[in-house]
Amino acid sequence: MRPSPLLKRTPLSLALCTLFAGTAQAADFKIGIELPRLDVAEYHRPYVAAWIEREDRTVAANLAVWYQLKRANAPAAAQMPAAGGAAPAGAAEGGTKWLPDMRQWWRRTGREMTMPADGISSATRAAGVHELNFSSGKAPFPDLAPGQYKLMVEAAREEGGRELLEIPFTWPAAKAAQLKAQGSRELGALSLDIKP
Amino acid sequence: MKITMKKLALALAVAALPFAASAHKGWLEPSKTVLSVGQWITVDAATSTDPFLKDHNAMRLDNLVITAPDGSKVQPENASTGKLRSSFDVQLNQAGTYKVAIVNSGVSARWEEKGQRKSYPPRGQAFTAEGFAKEVPANAEKLAVTESLTQLVTFATAGKPNDTALKPTGVGLELVPLQSITDLYVGEEAKFQFLLDGKPAADVEVEIIADGVRYRSSVDALELKTDKDGKFAIDWKTPGLYWMSASVSDEKATTAPAKQRRTAYTAVVEVLSP
């Protein structure tokens, strides 16, 4: 993720950080998702979803969905497929066709969402480590009730595989902590930094 | 000789047309069962020695009924019937669960005349009271008139599942999934209930066969029995398509002059890895 110019450590923002450090109203929730560089003949960027699950597996928050947004070069005619199915498969959906491939996410929450989802969905991302910063009470991160949760991250890649990682955590955190999980195929390292 | 062989082959082919051969199993094979709204599925339909093997006959599509999530009926696209299988496409334009069913019902009579077995109606023809009166002698020996009611179904869900299309009709043998029929996962026990005329069907034998019979050395059918509430549970071991079938024979025919009734329900479901 490219840092926004507003978040650059100017003296002013440093001062603000110092100012708020003592009060810390909003707990921080920082996720690091590594998409491994894969040496394959035909590489497509993976679809990735991140969400928070309660102990009963219901979804407490949808944090991110990266998928293939509407193709810029999709012909207009293809957006309304004829009944005969003449339109090329996939052209009309702007990539939503493959969202069910993130099976757990689709089952738990994706199939009830409308895409694009404001503040949650965005384009697919390149290999590398992507940081996502959230603070409690600020959309899309809700004011979580105290309890046990799991951070869930699922990736699915065209002509590739699927992988689901989870990091259990307690909310609110008693102290700052870094939690980790390691993927083996479609995901690399997953980290979660929680600050009370 | 050649001609004889040809004639023989033709005779065999005719003899083996659908509705025949109870030794063969009817099946539907959906390309996917979990999709987003607007996607297409393609479905193959056939009868064969074991489910999903294309080695016998195409399924006739005359009695294909596709029910959309709102309960309305949908027409298949690109329907075709080949030698070994029929196929058709369905676009899932509504959010919810679609039911794809081949529904057969009819009455048939069997009897004996001078030691020879007879039957009515002829294959491919419908039963009529007039035809029955004309063809079947009033004093036919060993006359058995059977009403049959069979459903072969599969399901696909676009977006969030619903159960409008799955509501039991209260007629014959029907399967009620006790979770979404398209939310079946390895490692999660799935529960189902069989109803007979809308009431729990206890002690019904259920046969379950996983896809891939050709690539294992035995069919490995799982045989279960419904409990007193008509329920049974399956703990899926491997992902894939599963064929589940049950039938009940009783004396509850509703169409005269049928006395016996045979009602069967076969469902094809997809089990995913979690």
- Write the pLDDT tens digit of every residue in B43-86: 999 999 999 999 999 999 999 999 999 999 999 999 999 999 99
Answer CATH for A27-195 from 2.60.40, 3.20.20, 1.20.120, 1.10.10: 2.60.40
- CB burial class (10 A; 0-12, 13-18, 19+) of residue B201? buried
Q: Where are the domains of chain A?
A: 27-195
Search chain B and give the residue with CA nearest A114.
B159
Q: In whole angstroms, give the CA distance from residue B140 to residue B49.
A: 34
ipTM > 0.90 (yes/no): no
CA dihedral angle for residue A93, residue B181, residue B169, residue B30, rounded to 10 degrees: 60
Q: Is residue A181 within 8 Å of A168, Cβ to Cβ?
A: no
A190 CA to chain B: closest CA distance, Å? Answer: 20
What pLDDT, on a 0 to 100 scale, did the predictor assign at position B125?
84
Chain A environment of B40 (Cβ under 8 Å): 85, 89
What pLDDT, on a 0 to 100 scale, did the predictor assign at position B11?
40
Domains and CATH numbers, chain B: 2-106+146-271 (2.60.40.1930), 107-144 (no CATH)
A167 CA to chain B: closest CA distance, Å? Answer: 17
196 residues of chain A, pLDDT tens digit each: 444 444 444 444 444 444 444 444 578 999 999 999 998 888 999 999 999 999 999 999 999 999 998 765 544 433 433 333 334 444 445 688 999 999 999 999 999 999 899 999 999 999 999 999 999 889 999 999 999 999 999 999 988 899 999 999 999 999 999 999 999 999 999 999 999 8
The sign of the CA dihedral B132, B118, B266, B31 is negative
- B21 to B49, B123, B144, B260: CA distances (angstroms): 10, 11, 18, 19
The answer to whether the Cβ–Cβ distance between A107 and B78 falls below 8 Å is no
The H or E element containing residue A155 is strand A147-156
| Mutation choice for B interface testing from A96, A97, A99, A111 by most B CBs within 10 A | A111
The answer to whether the Cβ–Cβ distance between A84 and B77 falls below 8 Å is yes
